[in-house]
Amino acid sequence: MKNTVSTLLKQKQSGDKITMLTAYDYTTAKIMDECGVNAILIGDSLGMVMLGYENTLPVTMEDMVHHTAAVSRGAENAFVVADMPFMSYQVSVAEAVTNAGRLIKEGGANAVKLEGGAEVCEQIKAIVNASIPVVAHLGLTPQSVNAFGGFKVQGKSLEKAEKLINDAMKIQEAGACAVVLEGIPAKIAEIITKRLVIPTIGIGAGNGCDGQVLVYQDMLGLTTGHTAKFVRVFAQVGELMRNGISDYIAETKNGNFPAVEHTYSLDEDIVKALEKKFL
Ligand code: KIV
């Protein structure tokens, strides 16, 4: 059965941890859905892990709609959340509603996610008023990488920790149905989780959240180079892919692939006739 905002809320209330993973294409979403993941996020992290950008800032609405539609087709049961890309909701409330609407209408998402606290409450209210569920995103919000001066853990001072907690209460008041807490000390995430009625989904925010989210390339060992402290590699899929691709190259070059079982045959009489005529 399709997971909804109510499913996630009930999970918080019963203490059943919410599982969310990112996906950007049909095949991956289908596998995750079959495994029983509760929610799938089409993160604007696709800019980095799918499109090879340095950060999420160049991602466009077209990118998000395209990938969201592919994931939605593969996600039968999982709750599908689509990220609103940088500058798709900051300029005006009207633009925010229009762009959120596209992710639902054209992308088939069940909810949208946007980054920020008090400063985006008007956008959250307006999108929710258009009957579109909104997931908020606080802490190390990657679209603010330039303002933060890098990807740094947030909320380390008393003042900043208090701002995070106040922002969490404000986005709930504005109507957000859940909040992603990224790159903040576990204690702050725990306090927010206890204060809020809506579920918290953590990434680099410790074990006290109502659920967890990870970028799938990170948790399947597909990411090369630096990975964040909060990532656990659950399976070395990258290594399996490298082995498989190297084997394919070697077996093709040495003539072992394709073998007889991968080859279509032809009636012997026809073979003889063709050989007589053409060879
Ligand atoms: O874009 C993304 O993948 C995200 C998650 C890291 C929460 O926002």
Residue-wise pLDDT for 216-273, tens only, equals: 999 999 998 888 999 999 999 999 999 999 999 999 999 999 999 999 999 999 999 9
Q: What mean pLDDT comes out for the span 63-76?
A: 98
Centre of ligand 1 from the C-alpha of residue 240, in Å: 25
Pair (13, 58) in one structural domain: yes
Pair (125, 260) in one structural domain: no
pLDDT at residue 74 is higher than 90: yes
Pair (96, 55) in one structural domain: yes
Task: Kindly state if the Cβ of 96 falls inside 6 Å of ligand 1.
Answer: no
Label residue 131 by pLDDT band (50, 70, 90).
very high
Nearest CA to ligand 1 atom 5: 43
Q: Which two tokens stand for residue 77?
A: 């049961």
Nearest CA to ligand 1 atom 4: 43
Pair (141, 214) in one structural domain: yes
Pair (34, 123) in one structural domain: yes
Task: Kindly state if the Cβ of 200 falls inside 6 Å of ligand 1.
Answer: no
The pLDDT of residue 225 is 86
Give CA–CA dist 194/188, Å, rounded. 10
Pair (224, 248) in one structural domain: no
Pair (215, 247) in one structural domain: no
Among 86, 113, 114, 215, name the best residue to mutate to test ligand 1's pocket (greatest count of ligand atoms within 8 A of Cβ). Answer: 215
Pair (168, 265) in one structural domain: no
Query: 48: domain range?
Result: 5-235
Centre of ligand 1 from the C-alpha of residue 204, in Å: 11
Residues of the chain with pLDDT > 70: what percent? 100
CB 111 within 8 A of CB 132: yes
Task: Kindly state if the Cβ of 38 falls inside 6 Å of ligand 1.
Answer: no
Label residue 153 by pLDDT band (50, 70, 90).
very high
The pLDDT of residue 226 is 86
Task: Kindly state if the Cβ of 44 falls inside 6 Å of ligand 1.
Answer: yes
Q: Looking at ligand 1, which atom is closest to the CA of residue 43?
A: 1
Pair (135, 252) in one structural domain: no
Cα angle 168, 230, 25; round to 5: 85
Q: Looking at ligand 1, which atom is closest to the CA of residue 182?
A: 7
Give CA–CA dist 276/279, Å, rounded. 6
- CATH code of 105's domain: 3.20.20.60
Question: Active-site residues: which are they?
Answer: 182
Spacing of C-alpha 185 from chain mean position: 22
Task: Kindly state if the Cβ of 182 falls inside 6 Å of ligand 1.
Answer: yes
Nearest CA to ligand 1 atom 2: 43
**How far is the CA of 164 from the CAs of 80, 123, 138, in angstroms?**
25, 18, 7
Helix axes 158-174, 186-195, angle to 10 degrees: 30
Nearest CA to ligand 1 atom 8: 43
Pair (217, 245) in one structural domain: no
Label residue 152 by pLDDT band (50, 70, 90).
very high
What is the per-residue pLDDT across 33-50, written as a single tens digit (0 to 9) for each? 999 999 999 999 999 999
Short-list 192, 194, 83, CA closest to 141: 83
Mean pLDDT for all residues in the chain: 98
Q: Of 93-107, 128-142, 175-189, 221-235, where does mean pLDDT reach its minimum?
A: 221-235
The pLDDT of residue 170 is 98
Structural domain total, the chain = 2
Pair (139, 174) in one structural domain: yes
Q: What mean pLDDT comes out for the span 55-70?
A: 98
Nearest CA to ligand 1 atom 1: 43
Pair (171, 269) in one structural domain: no
Centre of ligand 1 from the C-alpha of residue 132, in Å: 19
Task: Kindly state if the Cβ of 82 falls inside 6 Å of ligand 1.
Answer: no
